[in-house]
Structure 1
């Protein structure tokens, strides 16, 4: 084999390893790491405030408010705050009608979730701040199970587990569900071995004294949860704290959502970089494996495909041509399919492409502050 062919083969192998790293090799490494046990403590359970932001979530509000009423009944001392980000539907009116349950803070217009959460955190009086999303429903034992983990004084933040509903409605929903099950298992292993590297907005909590200051342009879920690690405390995951959310079923909605999230995530990464560099070696390894490698997955797939094409050309131009034609046909069939393996593969490729597009967008100085609910949810 010629030197150039060896180079392309090496590039192909490294690209495959990089794409599989967050979902195969990284979990294998985590499983052999020792367990870092939590230390039980004593004393009264801390007080809590639950916060969420909403924009045009009128369709979700009846179920959300009923869910909050159930939580308040189970935990009477719970404070609940909501921020309305200039909704043009009945979201604010529905929340305001439950003034004895939820304290509503109205925004001046579209200012974004990060701005809204900061407004709510400034008003909250609980020892622990619990963050969730407007379209998420929490299981009845959520509050007690979350607060119990704060008995360990070294624990500064606690995540819950997100369970998606509507998995079988489309290939996009099925891929999203599979991805999130893998993500939840990764967080379980990260928690067992020390720290989880960042939270999503479905359900997480921190001690109020650790809540940081940050600009409105960053991803508040990542920024706030990482502040726990930067303060020298543990960020852990509670398997028995369950949040439930409906999956996005349409490819267009999911693509736009992933571009938006990735753009804000990379922008947030840039903002947090000085503090990330001061983390210990294990946490830096976790962060790079679960986040940075994944953000560039689209680039690794493209690089691997080009290396495979170059190898095929060196063997036989006709073989390369046939391979390209087969790939194009399969891609076209997958785009048209409503379900099945081909549709799932196409949705995975689309997800990687959207994530990489968002990263490139952020690298060019662009980010996203406001959001819109997915119509296909």
Structure 2
């Protein structure tokens, strides 16, 4: 039984972190081969040129709670985006801000900016209020502390020429002003690569709140208790049978935090919201959903089970020490957790410090999942969010 438990846990962990990305590469390679074969059969015949569709109207919706420190910069950034002014608006949904955020938005004289204030009730309530009332056919969602590159909106919008596309996820680049090799960057790049290849299959599993776009008509009202709206909204669109794609050319930038306590709390909050989301998208749990279900199980559900799988692998390994192979696997696991501890202390230097720091990041990320699951079971995670302090 110990052997069965060990290998089940190990293979599931390997699948979610290594084998699943490899499957995505294989799927894309096969798809490219078939595409080339079809092109060869067409020979030199050229497809008729398509007349570019007119640009749709766009509403940039930003939920803001006490963002006085960055809301002016956000407005300047939003109004500088390269998109026709007569087809673009910025909607700031203030969630009961008390620090002067509303006054700063009202001070903006550009007619494209509209403030939608209301008493504090949580980000989900802000979106439920602002998205249906927005004028744009396409809703672009972003955070107040996320700065968008000028061409990003047009890069997102071009995908909606395909009527099967319901949402487009942009590329969020995280940066740390004081640490060049911030440990989250490697993991974030890994996650972005997975999203890129999921997008090739039309099944990006969740977006990042910093930058993504949806068709307004596909938005459905969320329960006010929803914790991770940027995860649930694209999944609901995917569940409806529409594609959710990834656009690497739509880039936004967001600063990470130096407060590891608050960062851990943010990740625990996200984890609680992830478990909560299961009852909101039941269709994606079924094999009948096809590749989206495979992606959801592989990329998300198994990740959320990773802390339990890691514990099972370690405990089962303790009963298998009569074999050299299993003594080696136990040594590898212990070494990994020792590296994580050294990553916390910061005693190593150079490459060793970076590796240890990444191990520590991985372990704390999974510890946050445990905390989030406990909050979910106790229904202790509130939907209203507190902004994460930046450097």
TM-score tier after normalising by the smaller chain length: 0.7 to 0.9
Once the two structures are TM-superposed, the CA of residue 342 in structure 1 deviates from its matched residue by: 2.1
Q: Are residues 1:204 and 2:212 paired?
A: yes
- Report the CA distance between 1:341 and its aligned residue: 2.3
User: What secondary structure sits across from 1:32 in the alignment?
Assistant: helix
1:32 partnered with 2:26:
yes
The structural deviation recorded for 1:15 is 2.4
Match of 1:108 in 2: 119
* Match for residue 315 of structure 2 among 297, 306, 328: 306
Q: RMSD value over aligned CA atoms? A: 3.0
Q: Which deviates the most, 203-212 or 327-336?
A: 327-336
Go from structure 1 to structure 2 and tell me whether the alpha carbon gap of 1:328 and 1:235 turns closer, same or farther (over 3 Å shift).
Answer: closer
In the alignment, structure 1 segments of 5+ residues that lack a partner are 1-6
The equivalent of 1:175 in structure 2 is: 183
The counterpart of 2:144, out of the listed 134, 142, 147, is: 134
Say which of 218, 243, 266 aligns to 1:234: 243
1:235 is displaced (CA, Å) by: 1.2
SS in 2 for 1:125: coil
C-alpha distance in 1, partners of 2:153/2:333? Answer: 54
* 1:217 has 2:225 as partner: yes
SS in 2 for 1:157: strand
The match for 2:360 among 346, 371, 375 is: 346
Aligned residue in 2 for 1:371: 385
Once the two structures are TM-superposed, the CA of residue 335 in structure 1 deviates from its matched residue by: 2.1
Normalising by structure 2, report the TM-score.
Answer: 0.84
Deviations along 1:196-225, one digit per CA (max 9) or x if unpaired, are 122121111111111112201122212221
- Preserved CA contact (<8 Å) 1:53 1:85: yes
Quick one: higher RCO (CA 8 Å, sep 6+), 1 or 2?
1
Q: 267-276 vs 129-138, which deviates more?
A: 267-276
Which 10-residue stretch deviates more, 238-247 or 221-230? 221-230
Secondary structure at the counterpart of residue 56 of structure 1: coil
Q: Contact 1:54–1:133 at 8 Å: present in 2 too? A: yes
Are residues 243 and 258 of structure 1, via their aligned partners in 2, closer, same or farther at CA, if it must alter by over 3 Å?
Answer: same
Alignment counterpart, residue 11 of structure 1, candidates 2, 5, 8: 5
Distance 2:54 2:178 in 1: 43
Q: Could you tell which deviates more after superposition, 28-37 or 124-133? A: 28-37
For the residues of structure 2 that align with 1:190 and 1:92, how far apart are their CA atoms? 38
Q: Deviations over 1:215-254 (max 9, x none)?
A: 0112221222123223322111111111111123332122
Q: Corresponding residue for 2:265?
A: 256
Matched, 1:159 2:169: yes
- Distance in 2 (CA, whole Å) between partners of 1:279 and 1:82 is 39
Which whole-Å CA distance do the structure 1 matches of 2:94 and 2:195 have between them? Answer: 30
Aligned counterpart for 2:73 among listed residues 44, 63, 67? 63
- The alpha-carbon deviation at position 72 of structure 1 amounts to 6.6
- Cα offset for 1:372? 1.2
Tell me if the contact between 2:272 and 2:373 (Cα under 8 Å) persists in the aligned partners: yes
- Asked whether the 8 Å contact 2:339–2:359 carries over to 1, the reply is no
Match of 1:359 in 2: 373
Give the C-alpha shift of residue 187 in structure 1. 0.9
What is the alpha-carbon distance in structure 2 between the residues aligned to residue 75 and residue 9 of structure 1?
Answer: 64
2:202 to 188, 194, 197: 194
Moved more, 80-89 or 40-49: 40-49
What is the CA distance between 1:329 and its match in structure 2? 6.1
* 2:73 counterpart of 1:79: no
How far apart are residue 57 of structure 1 and its match? 1.9
Please state how far the C-alpha of 1:376 moved relative to its aligned partner: 4.2
The answer to whether structure 1 residue 337 and structure 2 residue 346 are counterparts is yes
Residue 274 of structure 1, CA deviation: 4.5
DSSP-derived class of the 1:169 partner: coil
Whether the 8 Å CA contact 1:253–1:376 is kept in 2: the answer is no
Cα deviation, residue 324, structure 1? 10
Kindly tell me the number of residue pairs found equivalent between the two proteins: 365
